[in-house]
Amino acid sequence: MLHNLLPPIEKKALRIEYYVRLGTVIVFLITSAVGIGAVSLLPTYLKLRSEIDAITLDSGSPQAETASTTVMGDQAIISDTKRTLMLFEATLGKQQVTDIIRAAFAVRPDTVTISGVTYDQATRSVTLEGVATTRDALVGFAHTLEDTSTFGRVPLSISDLAKNTNIQFRLNLAIENDGAPKP
């Protein structure tokens, strides 16, 4: 067909027909893609739906017990942490407790990782738990803590020194004069 020789009205009609066909093909392709996507997600949706229904209907199942145990365990950890923080606030005040913990972390070398801090009100001591990469790093950390004005003696147990590398330790640090300088 000689498109250049057609009158303008027929050219316009051909353009409109072309755009209608193009639009129809695009709509068909988009509809097909959405339909295929919905059909491919249907098995996953049905499986998840059945698992949710099984958990809600069968509260005595092991999965439900595990989920509720995990939630209860998390709540126990949160309440224990709140209790420890309240104890910190009641005994030493916020600023002093943070200074004591900051003093321990300030002298910590890169080869020592602290994973837990516990304060004992009765003995006025802080317990640090963590992992040291080498025995020398742990001994050096303990001596550095003893040299600070915040802590008194830092006893190292023999079991902490049994391994050469990746040593899990537990140091009980006696607080000396609420952080006042040593004589």
* 6-10, 35-39, 56-60, 136-140: segment of lowest average pLDDT: 56-60
98 and 39 in a common domain? no
Q: Per the domain annotation, does 72 fall within a domain?
A: no
Q: Per the domain annotation, does 163 fall within a domain?
A: yes
100 and 51 in a common domain? no
Q: Per the domain annotation, does 134 fall within a domain?
A: yes
> What pLDDT, on a 0 to 100 scale, did the predictor assign at position 157?
75
- Name the domain boundary from 11, 40, 57: 57
Query: What is the value of pTM for the model shown?
Result: 0.45
Q: Flag whether pLDDT at 180 surpasses 50.
A: no
Residue type, 72: M
97 and 20 in a common domain? no
Higher pLDDT among residues 126 and 9, named by residue: 9
30 and 98 in a common domain? no
Q: How far apart are CA 137 and CA 127, in angstroms?
A: 18
| Element (DSSP H or E) covering residue 132 | strand 125-134
Give pLDDT tens digits for 49-104: 888 887 777 655 554 455 555 656 677 777 888 887 777 666 654 446 667 778 88
Number of domains within the chain: 2
169 and 102 in a common domain? yes
Q: What is the mean pLDDT of the chain?
A: 78
Its domain, for residue 144, covers: 93-179
Q: How far apart are CA 15 and CA 124, in angstroms?
A: 89
Q: Per the domain annotation, does 144 fall within a domain?
A: yes
167 and 121 in a common domain? yes
Q: Which residue has the tokens 């952080």?
A: 179
Higher pLDDT among residues 67 and 173, named by residue: 173
- Name the domain boundary from 13, 29, 57: 57
115 and 44 in a common domain? no
53 and 97 in a common domain? no
Higher pLDDT among residues 121 and 51, named by residue: 51
Higher pLDDT among residues 12 and 183, named by residue: 12
| Element (DSSP H or E) covering residue 113 | strand 112-120
Q: Flag whether pLDDT at 151 surpasses 90.
A: no
- Name the domain boundary from 29, 57, 85: 57
Q: Which residue has the tokens 């509720």?
A: 68
Residue type, 142: A
Q: How far apart are CA 175 and CA 125, in angstroms?
A: 5
